Amino acid sequence: MTPSDIIAFLQQHHAESVVSAVADGPYPHALVKAEGLAAVAAFLKTQPRLRFDLLRCISAIDWPAKNNIELAYDVISTSLGHAFAIKVVVDRADPRVESVSTVWPAAEWHEREAFDLMGVEFLHHPDLRRILMPEDWPGHPLRKDYQDIVEYRGLKFNP
């Protein structure tokens, strides 16, 4: 299916969740409401005509000026050979979104990474802990307004 077919198909079945969509250009995607993400994800995975069985990555993008964090879920179908992406926008002050790890198990670690570095909270995630930084690290380093630490367990940041 081409991106425009996928978008038309999505809008047909999940019209209430799809906010907008881009069919052309290098990154065809659909912007989905945060509360509709779980349903859309399950639809993408299980619909026989879509069969997006592989979640390639979850990207979190920090937009301080817009005061939101954008999440991009890149999915491909290994059996049908097409690719697509869905985006979700969450509030920067309180970023919460439903976990898709029940749909794609690969999401589990990607979501842990987004939580670790961007501070996005994934609801109903089985094991939402930091994955890269130490457990007691302050803040989320890839936020645009992140301030470097002064000291960590006796080690100076700028000796």
**Residue list 19-38, contact with another protein (CB under 8 A):** none
| Binding test (CB under 8 A) with another protein, winner from 25, 26, 81, 134 | 134
Closest approach, Cβ 122 to another protein, in A, equals 22
Q: H or E element: which one contains 115? A: helix 107-118
Structure-token pair, residue 105: 């198990």
Rg (the chain; Cα; Å) = 17
Contacting range for another protein; rule: CB under 8 A; set: 9-17, 30-38, 97-105, 140-148: 140-148
Under the binding rule (CB under 8 A), the answer on residue 155 touching another protein is: yes
Structure-token pair, residue 28: 């065809």
**Residue list 73-132, contact with another protein (CB under 8 A):** 132
Structure-token pair, residue 110: 């990607």
Under the binding rule (CB under 8 A), the answer on residue 133 touching another protein is: yes
- The answer to whether the CB of 30 falls within 8 A of the CB of 7 is yes
Determine the size of the site formed for another protein (CB under 8 A): 15
Closest approach, Cβ 107 to another protein, in A, equals 24
| Binding test (CB under 8 A) with another protein, winner from 41, 62, 141, 144 | 141
- The answer to whether the CB of 120 falls within 8 A of the CB of 62 is no
Gap between the Cα atoms of 68 and 56, Å rounded: 23
- Give residue 139's region: left, alpha or beta (phi > 0; psi -120 to 50): left
Closest approach, Cβ 113 to another protein, in A, equals 14
Q: Which residues bind another protein (CB under 8 A)?
A: 132-134, 137, 141, 146, 148-149, 152-153, 155-159
